[in-house]
Chains A and B, each alone.
Chain A
């Protein structure tokens, strides 16, 4: 049924009214009686032994309630923060996961690592207390560079050469043979710059312990409260799972950085139990820069083998991935199963081999950040392909088209372990070429030249894998959690519906999109649907939101629960209509008996379910409430074509994005407006990486130089053009909605398109990213 609020309608986001009018309820908006405030003392050194901490001045600070160190947590048997994905090295050995106490005990391993905590009656008193802490640090030599990490001073006793694992995927011998027989080989050394996530709401946590029941409640800015609860209960040992409730209320952005279980909320919930008073912590912006898991930071050598006809015959990739000082919650999976597996891109390259060394440095941990591995893979593939086209003097669009997996080849098994279910890459590229008026580019370039400017065009035909699945495959590859999603649908007596999802919205608009799904499926008013998420006390379980999985996995789970509701509704309706359930159809909100053509509205059946006078209760339970757990059969594979056109002023080095066209295939689209918004945000982040953003540690001191908005350049509205966004549709073949997911695509495809355009404008093969005015100015001068 297509309605103004159904599937396919651009319904305005119902959550925006409260966000825009300041009525959102974020973690820091919640205050409890007798609440205390926690401030962390953080290491000023990149690498140092702790030879003692003098807590007395902090304890004597007025208003301070308690001061703790890592030893206090250890004494209460609070465990290490774990990494939830076991990756194995080439030789079959397990990855090395160093001990990661939430609060440093003997040694600090990056600037910003917490080593003590001060709890006070007011935030100011806690800050004063933290400033009074004197620690005796013995400074050690630090290792900061990704490329040189394996030869730097060893950080962890159990990690020789600062290496966690040395992983591989693909057929090395076959790939080497392809290179031996290649007509042309394109080579690139690629640095994927470190990014720092910047959710508009910094992380926060409020812990509460109810001494009358012994139960804990943690309010926190988590993308996946059930996983937070699981890890804090099972691994960190805070409390039995049943006695710990985690609530993620409104959350203002995450981009991956709020997936992980961090020191801060661990300390907060532990301290709440210790003190018997609520404890609140809210990150200052600089704490977010220092401590929220960073993104990307790869150093790669990549080679593409091509035959006489311009067909790709082999791809060889060797990457060092910086993990930071510790393995964050899902860090190990990002440069492996979310990176190496995507290196086929949209192409038929038959032989691919990738090896990845994960290395430790004295920096903040690196983990999933919008796209997580897939932007890095796309950047490698699409920079190589564009460079190959230039070297072979071929049209980059034609070279891509020549190598696309053809539409009749699906399902297509890649040489790097994935099976793409569907796609049509040519139509997305065609549409993008048309929208970008690529045919008119040369005349625009001449016009730029006449004004002393340099104009460039860059492509990126990306693929991504969303909705990480299926559980059993992932678990066999080392995943420590399932990858399904839960849903519960409670139909009320009056026919309104509460839809409870294990997925979590922190800006994606689930309350709207999921309400559209339910309203469309049941034929009931959009306004009659309430979507509940983010509370382990209200939903059975859930894996939360990451990897663009919400609609494909969470939405599908809701559809499974809806199917069960309709199945039961048919049974009830059959009795009411004196028919047989097999003869009852449900469509457009009505149960209809095919034999009599008599029908009942959804609400009438719901009412009967709860006022059960019309059906035999010995056959059928009263009520209308169903649960489902949906485990996908495969990833979904959104793909698309991005075209970026830049104009560079060689005198100032400023790059202006003249136009950006993104044509994406997300399968079926539930709410086109929300999808376009997701694409815009992703593009801004991908362009930000290409032109502006760079997390930099000082090579001598190990300080995070880019620790505030003075030094870390975020993209702003005036850096970005009016995007041209469009879609093509090949529905996903294995989920009930035919959807693929759209959250990360913008960030995955765009970075390569921008760098391809900038290098085209400057007439160079390669240059460092980000292409800041200083870098561009130097390159333009041949410096």
Chain B
């Protein structure tokens, strides 16, 4: 499962970079995020409540930040556990490029799921994860557009 997208953010690249590493900002952008904490310099822990098809559950996510090349690119390595509902593993490659006052953000997300999540239909999973990723970056863009950062 792989998907990609891009968003034009109404901010300069360094501000975007910093915001993407701020747990409070991340929490606002991730639908269903109940908590987001920094547990070390390059590690976040999150609890997300999500419903994918017939599966609803609280997922615990451990997020590692890798391949740091500030302020241009980095990789998020995500390990999600939802107990009986299943699990997910994935990576998100995120790149920023300056377009004057604005910043172009591109992302490529790869991952796979297991457990009950894996059985509910791969089309459903692909569309749900696409929606989640798109929504995250759209929310992020919206924060800047509405000057909420």
Contacts and interface: CB of A to CB of B under 8 A. Distances in A.
B83 A707 contact: no
A286 B112 contact: no
A41 B123 CA distance: 24
Interface string A700-712: 1101110110110
Given A44-B114, A45-B114, A131 B83 contact: yes
A711 B123 contact: yes
Contacts of B116: 42, 44, 286
Contacts of B124: 710
A323 interface: no
Nearest to B57: A131
Contact of A131 (B85, B119, B121): B85
Nearest to A40: B84
A711 B112 CA distance: 16
A198 to B, nearest CB: 14
Contacts of B94: none
A703 B116 CA distance: 9
B84 A705 contact: no
B121 A708 contact: yes
What DSSP secondary structure best describes chain A's contact surface? loop
B122 interface: yes
B86 interface: yes
A488 to B, nearest CB: 44
A133 B121 contact: no
Contacts, number: 59
The listed residue with most B CB atoms (<10 A of its CB), out of A44, A111, A698, A704, is A44
A710 B124 CA distance: 8
Contact of A711 (B83, B115, B121): B121
Given A44-B114, A698-B112, A710-B124, A704 B119 contact: yes
The listed residue with most A CB atoms (<10 A of its CB), out of B84, B120, B122, B123, is B84
Interface string A281-292: 000001001100
Given A44-B114, A700-B112, A701-B112, A134 B122 contact: no
A130 interface: yes
Interface residues of A, number: 23
B114 A131 contact: no
Nearest to A131: B84
A111 B122 contact: no
B120 A130 contact: no
Contacts of B114: 44-45, 111, 701, 703
20 contacts: A41-B84, A42-B115, A44-B115, A44-B118, A45-B114, A111-B118, A131-B57, A131-B83, A132-B83, A286-B116, A286-B119, A290-B119, A701-B112, A703-B113, A703-B114, A703-B118, A707-B119, A708-B119, A710-B124, A711-B123
Interface of A: 41-42, 44-45, 111, 130-134, 286, 289-290, 698, 700-701, 703-705, 707-708, 710-711
Interface of B: 57, 83-87, 112-116, 118-124
